[in-house]
Structure 1
Amino acid sequence: MKNFTSSLLFSVVIFLVSCEKNDGIGLDPTTADEINHFIWKGMNTYYLWQEDVPVLADNRFGNLGELYAYFRGFSSPESVFESLRFQPELTDRFSVIVDDYVALENSFQGITLNSGMEFGLVRYVNSNTNIFCYVRYVLPNSDAATKGIQRGMIFTTVNGTQLTDTNFGNLLFNDSPNYTIGFANYNNGNPTSNGISISLNKAQLQENPVAISKIITEGTKKIGYLLYNQFSSSFDGQLNAAFANFKTQNIDELIVDLRYNGGGSVQTATYLGSMITGQFNGQLYSKEIWNSRVMNALPASRFVNNFTNQIRNVDSNGNVTLNESINSLGMTKVYFIVSSSTASASELVINSLSAYIDVYLVGRKTVGKQVGSITLYDSENLLRNGKNLNNKHAYAIQPIVLEISNKDNQNHPEGFTPGTSLPGIELAENFGNLGVLGERSDPLLDRTITYILTGAKSSFDLKIQPFQDEIFNSKLASPTSNNMYVELK
């Protein structure tokens, strides 16, 4: 993965001159004006659909005064940003603005304020409004772990109030440092209270996304299993170490569990694909399409990501933070466990590898996010370490700037459906019987192992739950959400 450098910004900043050329602003700029100008400048420069949004045209404003006056008609920076998105929720489903870029940066590295409990939200079978939560997993050494919260637990109330599709955001994802949850029995998707309640405290926690890495021996086969929950560059070394163990143990098959992985770094996704394979070093892994301004500013080589045999990470100042050889397995097939929470960089790995080796999926249809973003700040060159970073506010924008595909120009904006998009088995998690992650008591893992051993796709031996879709999950409340990003350095 080639990082986009600040030279790009200097090569395209000429397009912004038309808006800054007139000294006669005619208005005394406020902090809100400065934020609005930054939002417009960032979207004008990098937004993937810049040419489709008339307000983002280079000649839309004759000077800064006109720009300030126009955006003073909006109530907030958020409303300004929303006005610049192209067909929100239809075409651009993922661009975001945040008012605390430190929280955003932390989230990219798995650092969030939470109790250590990750969970999904599901409607009751017999109610259109009531919601229950099921615990997906618990972070080690967190308050939730200390208080005995375990995977598979069901809770329905927060501070004594029943969760619904209209109040869960305020109850679960507010700024309060503590809350009390009331537990229930699953009862076939219509939970009933069991009288147990637990109070939880939030803290700044960093999740190691390399959650489980182990060898499962079945007969003569050694099966490597990796539960990987975020493409976070801070843990590239741990990810590579997991593959070193797989390589030393000479595994026969590999299962990568991405069911709770909403994405992350494109560079880390390239590393993971290179760890799984190795025989394609230097060949095309993925390619990117940016807006015409960016594509014309840089050589074509800057928009391709190749398989690699080396991890080389640098910080925003160009200092090398990790430099080591990749532990590659040379696999010719791989099994992914996926779900409706599998997105962006996870889908990138599936898509890129499917052009080279046999890829099998077990689980549910994935999100369908074939586009990526960058973080832009209010500085002269839009970088975090750029000149004159505005210290009057902490806004940053995370606009969609690229579409990404595999070597065959394929991507799947509709998501991957196991057994349809790629070979595999479509099977949902049973919220009443989640089992233990990494053990065969987990129905999805058990079914994947059976698939490996026998090739059988039938799931007649499983009791399938009433059909229930998640409406939200705790990771979607983090600043990164289902984000796939590249880094400007």
Structure 2
Amino acid sequence: MKHFVRTVFVLCLLLASLPSCNKLGGGPSHGDESENPSYYYLNRFSRALMEVNYLWNEEISSTLTHWDLKADPYAQVHDARYHDAAGNEVDRWTQMIPDYEAFVNGLNGVSSGTYAVNMQLMYADETRSQIVAVVLYTYADGPARKAGLKRGDVIMKVNGATMTVENYSKVLSEALNGAPVALTLYDGRNVTLPAAVEMYENPVGQARVFDCGGRKAGYLFYSSFTLESYADLIEACRSFRQAGVTDLILDLRYNTGGYVLTEEMLASMIAPEASVRAGELLATEVYNSFVERYLERNGLDTRTFFRQDFEFTGSRGEKYSFSTADANIGCQRVFALVGEDTASASEALLCSLKPYMPVYLIGTKTHGKYCAGIVNASSEYFEEARKSGEFSAREAEEAMKHASKAGLYLMVSRYADKNGVTLSMPDGMTPDERLEENPLDGFQLGDPEETLLSRALAHCGYQAARRVKVQRAGAPRPRLEPVPDSRPKEGYMVKLGLPHE
């Protein structure tokens, strides 16, 4: 990350000095920061980065020219995001971040004050007046799993309160504040959710092998492309290789993305081994015209090639070094379980693999995030500005005092496969076989009779022994309908920097 911030600042200086790269408009004067110093410095930070590296910087050049240093920077960045000629929001992801450290922790899979459970809000009746929460999955060793919560559990009351359309947001925000929570479930059980904890939520939830009558299917449930998950991914793929897996069932239905490097690493273990060892082209990227010219002048390649040896520095300066040489699965086909939460790095992985092998999508349409972004820390920008002379010592001190915690998640590139095709653009990848997932089907993730997995296994030749669903005591499960837009629709595809030698 520090490498990238320095690169950004160098690009800012080049933008002002190179004859062929004029400033967009000329920009606002620095003015007086006394009215709201936080707004002032965060606006200087966000405009400088958007002017140089934003994928659509030319399309919003007029907005950047009239950037208001006194405006709310969070609202201003949101409103500046690129819209097409018809007014449709194209960029749905660039955003100011109030707490850079917490944001990066989340990308790394470390959550502070988490109950380690993923839920879906649903209407409990046809009148759409009562709201319930349905458990989708829990993380190993987290409070929710320790309390006995499982996929399909229906939460009717939270701390004794019934949730309605009018109050559910207030009920949940007041209850899920880190303290233990009393839950009343539809099946009559009363469950106490232990206090929230800070923990690493391991995204490698399951890895198991199914015998499919002469073929072997490996099932991998993966919920986020964190950097720290590399070891568990390598272990899972190595076990698939040793088991002779021919078909990979990759469950990305809840995977909203993560780090590009992790996506590249996983691709190296799924794609045909001969292509990986030969270092063939995995993906391409498109940047704005100024960045493209800068990279071309410096002989920097925007293409990504398969590799097996990885060595890089993480966002906090941590060193990573590992190899996937003995972990290529050797599979012949990929069946991907997808849905509206399948986004960014998940979509990029599937898009990049398709030219190399059959990739069959089962589920519903994916999110449709086709951009990669970089998370920029305001504190690092201010420090670089001081060193270069862009900020005086007093300005740098004031900036650090009032605006050093924030960050900017900025879209910088569009990805494509080796042929230049971006399958998730503009609004997601359409599944080959449309099938709604059903968390109330009575089976856990990884169970061969779970709705999406059973369909993938059928394609692999698996013959399931039909079982009677085990229903806990109480009335049958209700017919529920998801509450629209009640789950986050963010997608993350995070680069650690621009291409460099």
Structures share a fold, TM > 0.5? yes
Does structure 2 retain, via aligned residues, the 8 Å contact 1:6–1:488?
no
> Letter of the aligned partner of 1:49 in structure 2?
W
Report whether the alignment pairs 1:157 with 2:163: no
Q: Which residue of 2 aligns with 1:263?
A: 257
1:32-51 to structure 2, matched below 5 A, reads: 32-51=39-58
Report the CA distance between 1:165 and its aligned residue: 5.1
Q: Which residue of 2 aligns with 1:488?
A: 497
1:6-85 to structure 2, matched below 5 A, reads: 6-7=6-7, 9-15=9-15, 27-29=32-34, 30-57=37-64, 60=65, 70-72=68-70, 74=71, 76-85=72-81
SS state at 1:140 partner:
coil
Q: Which residue of 2 aligns with 1:93?
A: 92
1:444-463 to structure 2, matched below 5 A, reads: 444-453=452-461
**More off after superposition, 362-371 vs 409-418:** 409-418
Do the aligned partners of residues 307 and 96 (structure 1) sit closer, same or farther apart at CA in structure 2, a change above 3 Å counting?
A: same
Do the aligned partners of residues 32 and 11 (structure 1) sit closer, same or farther apart at CA in structure 2, a change above 3 Å counting?
A: closer
Do the aligned partners of residues 249 and 290 (structure 1) sit closer, same or farther apart at CA in structure 2, a change above 3 Å counting?
A: same
Report whether the alignment pairs 1:216 with 2:210: yes
Report the CA distance between 1:407 and its aligned residue: 1.6
Q: Which residue of 1 aligns with 2:446?
A: 438
Separation (CA, whole Å) in 2 of partners of 1:311 and 1:324:
6
Separation (CA, whole Å) in 2 of partners of 1:198 and 1:48:
47
SS state at 2:48 partner:
helix
Q: Which residue of 2 aligns with 1:102?
A: 101
Does structure 2 retain, via aligned residues, the 8 Å contact 1:313–1:323?
no
Separation (CA, whole Å) in 2 of partners of 1:427 and 1:383:
51
Indicate which of 243, 257, 261 corresponds to 2:237: 243
Does structure 2 retain, via aligned residues, the 8 Å contact 1:132–1:155?
yes
- CA deviation string 1:347-373 (max 9, x = no partner): 111111111211112222211111121
Does structure 2 retain, via aligned residues, the 8 Å contact 1:122–1:472?
no
Do the aligned partners of residues 158 and 39 (structure 1) sit closer, same or farther apart at CA in structure 2, a change above 3 Å counting?
A: farther
Do the aligned partners of residues 28 and 252 (structure 1) sit closer, same or farther apart at CA in structure 2, a change above 3 Å counting?
A: closer
Separation (CA, whole Å) in 1 of partners of 2:50 and 2:412:
9
Report whether the alignment pairs 1:308 with 2:307: yes
Gaps of 5+ in 2: 18-22, 388-395, 464-477
Q: Which residue of 2 aligns with 1:395?
A: 406
> Letter of the aligned partner of 2:101 in structure 1?
V
> Letter of the aligned partner of 1:485 in structure 2?
V
> Letter of the aligned partner of 1:101 in structure 2?
Y
TM-score by length of 2: 0.80
> Letter of the aligned partner of 2:320 in structure 1?
T
> Letter of the aligned partner of 2:78 in structure 1?
E
Report the CA distance between 1:449 and its aligned residue: 0.6
Report the CA distance between 1:160 and its aligned residue: 3.6
Report the CA distance between 1:161 and its aligned residue: 3.7
- CA deviation string 1:421-470 (max 9, x = no partner): xxxx2211223214122121322212211121179xxxxxxxxx979456
SS state at 1:51 partner:
coil
Report whether the alignment pairs 1:405 with 2:410: no
> Letter of the aligned partner of 1:230 in structure 2?
S
SS state at 1:311 partner:
strand
- CA deviation string 1:93-126 (max 9, x = no partner): 1122221111101001111131121112233451
Q: Which residue of 2 aligns with 1:459?
A: none
Do the aligned partners of residues 280 and 6 (structure 1) sit closer, same or farther apart at CA in structure 2, a change above 3 Å counting?
A: farther
Separation (CA, whole Å) in 2 of partners of 1:24 and 1:467:
55
> Letter of the aligned partner of 1:79 in structure 2?
A
Separation (CA, whole Å) in 1 of partners of 2:415 and 2:368:
12
Q: Which residue of 2 aligns with 1:355?
A: 355
Q: Which residue of 1 aligns with 2:365?
A: 365
SS state at 1:375 partner:
strand
Does structure 2 retain, via aligned residues, the 8 Å contact 1:316–1:385?
no
Does structure 2 retain, via aligned residues, the 8 Å contact 1:43–1:56?
no
> Letter of the aligned partner of 1:92 in structure 2?
D
SS state at 2:92 partner:
coil
Separation (CA, whole Å) in 1 of partners of 2:258 and 2:115:
22
Separation (CA, whole Å) in 2 of partners of 1:234 and 1:109:
7
SS state at 2:11 partner:
helix
Do the aligned partners of residues 129 and 407 (structure 1) sit closer, same or farther apart at CA in structure 2, a change above 3 Å counting?
A: farther
Report whether the alignment pairs 1:202 with 2:196: yes
Report the CA distance between 1:255 and its aligned residue: 0.9
Separation (CA, whole Å) in 2 of partners of 1:176 and 1:361:
38
Report whether the alignment pairs 1:229 with 2:242: no
Do the aligned partners of residues 47 and 83 (structure 1) sit closer, same or farther apart at CA in structure 2, a change above 3 Å counting?
A: same
Q: Which residue of 1 aligns with 2:474?
A: none
Does structure 2 retain, via aligned residues, the 8 Å contact 1:227–1:257?
yes
Separation (CA, whole Å) in 1 of partners of 2:32 and 2:121:
48
SS state at 1:260 partner:
coil
Q: Which residue of 2 aligns with 1:460?
A: none
Number of residues paired by the alignment?
A: 451
1:92-131 to structure 2, matched below 5 A, reads: 92-112=91-111, 113-124=113-124, 126-131=126-131
Report the CA distance between 1:47 and its aligned residue: 1.4
Indicate which of 386, 406, 428 corresponds to 1:415: 428
RMSD: 3.3
Does structure 1 retain, via aligned residues, the 8 Å contact 2:212–2:460?
no
> Letter of the aligned partner of 1:44 in structure 2?
E
Q: Which residue of 1 aligns with 2:267?
A: 273
Do the aligned partners of residues 359 and 165 (structure 1) sit closer, same or farther apart at CA in structure 2, a change above 3 Å counting?
A: farther
Separation (CA, whole Å) in 1 of partners of 2:28 and 2:132:
57
TM-score by length of 1: 0.82
Report whether the alignment pairs 1:133 with 2:133: yes
Separation (CA, whole Å) in 2 of partners of 1:373 and 1:35:
18
Q: Which residue of 2 aligns with 1:458?
A: none
Report the CA distance between 1:222 and its aligned residue: 1.9
Does structure 2 retain, via aligned residues, the 8 Å contact 1:237–1:322?
no
Report the CA distance between 1:280 and its aligned residue: 1.5
Q: Which residue of 1 aligns with 2:484?
A: 471
Report whether the alignment pairs 1:345 with 2:345: yes
**More off after superposition, 92-101 vs 26-35:** 26-35
Report the CA distance between 1:377 and its aligned residue: 1.9
Separation (CA, whole Å) in 2 of partners of 1:298 and 1:467:
52
Separation (CA, whole Å) in 2 of partners of 1:143 and 1:229:
18
Do the aligned partners of residues 156 and 288 (structure 1) sit closer, same or farther apart at CA in structure 2, a change above 3 Å counting?
A: farther
> Letter of the aligned partner of 2:310 in structure 1?
I
Report the CA distance between 1:386 and its aligned residue: 9.5
Do the aligned partners of residues 146 and 380 (structure 1) sit closer, same or farther apart at CA in structure 2, a change above 3 Å counting?
A: closer
Separation (CA, whole Å) in 1 of partners of 2:203 and 2:384:
25
Do the aligned partners of residues 172 and 23 (structure 1) sit closer, same or farther apart at CA in structure 2, a change above 3 Å counting?
A: closer
Q: Which residue of 2 aligns with 1:422?
A: none
SS state at 1:402 partner:
strand
Do the aligned partners of residues 6 and 45 (structure 1) sit closer, same or farther apart at CA in structure 2, a change above 3 Å counting?
A: same
Do the aligned partners of residues 41 and 172 (structure 1) sit closer, same or farther apart at CA in structure 2, a change above 3 Å counting?
A: farther
Gaps of 5+ in 1: 62-66, 186-192, 420-424, 456-464
Q: Which residue of 2 aligns with 1:288?
A: 285
Q: Which residue of 1 aligns with 2:472?
A: none
SS state at 2:275 partner:
coil
